[in-house]
């Protein structure tokens, strides 16, 4: 039976699921294909931190929009999605970083995001496990945490409730020019194809300017109350946005279970999941320098995951030049969970020819291409363009 689809989405991580929900809600006949089921990939491997990130106007616009969408959705999320409005504390180690805190507050304010500055004493009261002598922090109360696989499963269930179909047992071997071919030879046709494959997007489209950026996470046993907010060091952005090299930054999340997720690390060039012990050591040392007691907690598991990183830290959302049917929804690096809902909105708007709530141009994939013939420009990575 050949069904005709309006949209076929490859990839059922949280971004694909969000796109499916948006498309299905607009009455589009939507199919989602992912051999690994719903909520795998980076969705399963990462921290579920919903955070407004201020490293560029386009980033703050996208994350703020999406954070709002999550807050609106939160009442509908099932308990297993573990949504909690924990808030983020951007921790300042010294007075120099407090200047950065004040600058950050101004940037957030101009984007309409309310924040509060805590001095050293207030910070110590808010988070007693932090080391003594920190200068303070910026509190972003509207940030939240959740458990991404359950949230993705919810989004997909909603999509299916509104008529979408999930094809969970077949790998996609090619997707473009209105055709999606599956491993078993079956061909699906749709006017619109959305590539939401995350770090695997280059399997279908090798010329995408996406590189795998690996991260480590440690999860502990249950220590309820050890940490109350998501704690991130101000240096996180330096780590997340250094173009090359391995880096570790302090980033700790309390889960609803009372477990702690300890991150974060970034490295290029790692292709498998074997732990990089020296990078792990750096990450744990960093965490311990902010939370001296963390070394005494029992760790249950360490794992790695792959972020899809683009040269300018913004995702690829929008039409892929040279293929009128293809829309990208990938390259979200460490912000896939946060920006999944907004990505869904932008993708659906693109497909329906609507004007989205925020300008979509900054995320268009075309920004990396020269001319209209679709020839890829040299990427900002230089020689190592892929991988």
Partner 1 sequence: MSDAFDILVVGAGPAGIAAAVTAAECGLRVGVVDDNPAPGGQIWRSGAHLPAAAQRWKARFEAAPVTRLLGWRIVDCPEPGIARAQCNGAEIGRDSTTEIGRDLHYGQLILATGARERFLPFPGWTLPNVMGAGGLDAMARGGLPIAGKRVVVAGTGPLLLAVAAHLAAGGAKICAICEQASFGQMAPLMLQVLRQPGKLWQGVRYRFATKTSRYLTRCWPVAAEGDQRLQTVTLQRDGRQWQVECDYLACGFHLVPNTELAALLGCRLEKGFVVTDELMQTSAPGIWCVGEPTGIGGVELSLLEGQIAGLAAAGKTDAARKAGASRRGALGFVRALERACRLNPQLRDLVRHETIVCRCEDVPLGALLGRTGWRDAKLHTRCGMGPCQGRICGGALEFLFGWHADSVRPPVFPALVSSFLGPETLDLPKEAV
Partner 2 sequence: MAEPNITLTVDEVVVRVAPGTTVAAAALMAGTQTRVSVSGEPRAPLCGMGICFECRVTINGALHQRSCQILCEPGMRVTTAEERSRR
Q: How many whole angstroms separate alpha carbon 171 and alpha carbon 182? A: 6
Q: Contacting partner 1 (CB under 8 A), which of 122, 165, 297, 352?
A: 297
Instruction: Identify which of residues 56 and 256 has a Cβ nearer to partner 2 in the complex.
Output: 256
Residue 122 Cβ, how far from partner 2 at the closest point, in Å? 26
Q: Which residues of the chain form contacts with partner 2 (CB under 8 A)?
A: 79, 221-224, 256-258, 296, 298
Residue 50 Cβ, how far from partner 1 at the closest point, in Å? 19
Residue 143 Cβ, how far from partner 2 at the closest point, in Å? 22
Q: Which does 188 bind (CB under 5 to 8 A by kind): partner 2, partner 1, none?
A: none
Does residue 13 contact residue 42 with C-beta atoms inside 8 Å? yes
User: What's the residue count for the chain?
Assistant: 387
**What is the enclosing helix (H) or strand (E) of 342?**
helix 336-352
Using CA atoms, how far residue 159 sits from 18, 75, 120, 211, 336, in Å, is 8, 17, 46, 29, 19
Phi, then psi, of 92 in degrees rounded to 5: -105, 125
Residue 5 Cβ, how far from partner 2 at the closest point, in Å? 39
- Taking CB under 8 A as the rule, which mask of x and - marks residues 153-192 in contact with partner 1? x--------------x------------------------
Q: How many whole angstroms separate alpha carbon 176 and alpha carbon 192? A: 9
Using CA atoms, how far residue 370 sits from 95, 367, 377, in Å, is 44, 8, 6
Residue 82 Cβ, how far from partner 1 at the closest point, in Å? 10
Residue 202 Cβ, how far from partner 1 at the closest point, in Å? 23
Q: Is 14 in the site for partner 1 (CB under 8 A)?
A: no
Q: Is 145 in the site for partner 1 (CB under 8 A)?
A: no
Angle of CA points 49, 215, 83, to nearest 5°:
15
Tell me which residues in 37-76 interact with partner 1 (CB under 8 A). Answer: 37, 39-40, 44
Instruction: Identify which of residues 155 and 218 has a Cβ nearer to partner 1 in the complex.
Output: 218
Tell me which residues in 271-290 interact with partner 1 (CB under 8 A). Answer: 273, 275, 277, 280-281, 284-285, 287-288
The residue among 13, 155, 148, 21 whose CA lies nearest residue 81 is: 148
Q: How many whole angstroms separate alpha carbon 52 and alpha carbon 69? A: 12
Q: What is the DSSP letter of 355?
A: P
Q: Which does 103 bind (CB under 5 to 8 A by kind): partner 2, partner 1, none?
A: none
R_g (Cα) of the chain, nearest Å:
20
Q: How many whole angstroms separate alpha carbon 146 and alpha carbon 103? A: 28
Q: Is 262 in the site for partner 1 (CB under 8 A)?
A: yes
Q: Which residues bind partner 1 (CB under 8 A)?
A: 37, 39-40, 44, 80, 149-150, 153, 168, 218, 220-221, 223, 226, 262, 273, 275, 277, 280-281, 284-285, 287-288, 293-303
């Amino acid at each position: 039976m050949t069904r005709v689809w309006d949209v076929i989405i490859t990839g059922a991580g949280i971004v694909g699921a969000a796109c499916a929900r948006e498309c299905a809600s607009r009455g589009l006949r939507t199919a989602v294909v992912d051999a690994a089921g719903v909520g795998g990939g980076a969705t399963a491997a990462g921290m579920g931190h919903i955070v407004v990130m201020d490293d560029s106007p386009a980033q703050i616009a996208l994350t703020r929009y999406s954070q709002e969408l999550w807050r609106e959705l939160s009442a509908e999320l099932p308990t297993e999605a573990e949504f909690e409005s924990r808030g983020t504390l951007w921790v300042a180690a010294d007075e120099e970083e407090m200047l950065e805190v004040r600058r950050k507050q101004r940037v957030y304010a101009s984007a309409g995001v309310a924040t509060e500055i805590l001095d050293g004493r207030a910070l110590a009261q808010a988070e007693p496990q932090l080391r003594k002598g920190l200068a303070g922090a910026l509190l972003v109360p509207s940030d939240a945490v959740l458990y991404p696989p359950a949230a993705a499963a919810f989004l997909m269930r909603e999509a299916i409730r509104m008529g979408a179909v999930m094809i969970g047992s077949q790998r996609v071997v090619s997707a473009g020019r209105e055709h999606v071919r599956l491993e078993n030879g079956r061909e699906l046709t749709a006017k619109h194809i959305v590539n939401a494959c995350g770090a695997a997007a280059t399997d279908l489209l090798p010329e995408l300017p996406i590189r795998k950026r690996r991260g480590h996470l440690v999860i502990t046993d249950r220590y309820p109350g050890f940490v109350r907010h998501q704690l991130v060091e101000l240096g996180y952005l330096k780590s997340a946005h250094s173009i090359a090299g391995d880096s570790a930054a302090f980033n700790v999340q309390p889960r609803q279970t009372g477990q702690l997720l300890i991150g974060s690390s970034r490295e290029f060039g790692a292709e498998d999941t074997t732990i990089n012990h020296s990078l792990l050591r750096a990450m744990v040392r960093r965490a311990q320098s902010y939370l001296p007691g963390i070394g005494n907690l029992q760790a249950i598991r360490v794992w790695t995951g792959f972020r899809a990183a683009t040269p300018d830290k913004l995702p690829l959302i929008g039409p892929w030049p040279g293929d009128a049917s293809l829309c990208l929804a990938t390259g979200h690096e460490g912000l896939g969970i946060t920006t999944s809902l907004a990505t869904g909105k932008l993708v659906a708007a693109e497909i329906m020819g609507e004007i989205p709530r925020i300008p979509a141009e900054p995320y268009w994939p075309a920004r990396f291409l020269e001319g209209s013939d679709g020839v890829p420009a040299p990427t900002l990575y230089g020689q190592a363009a892929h991988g």
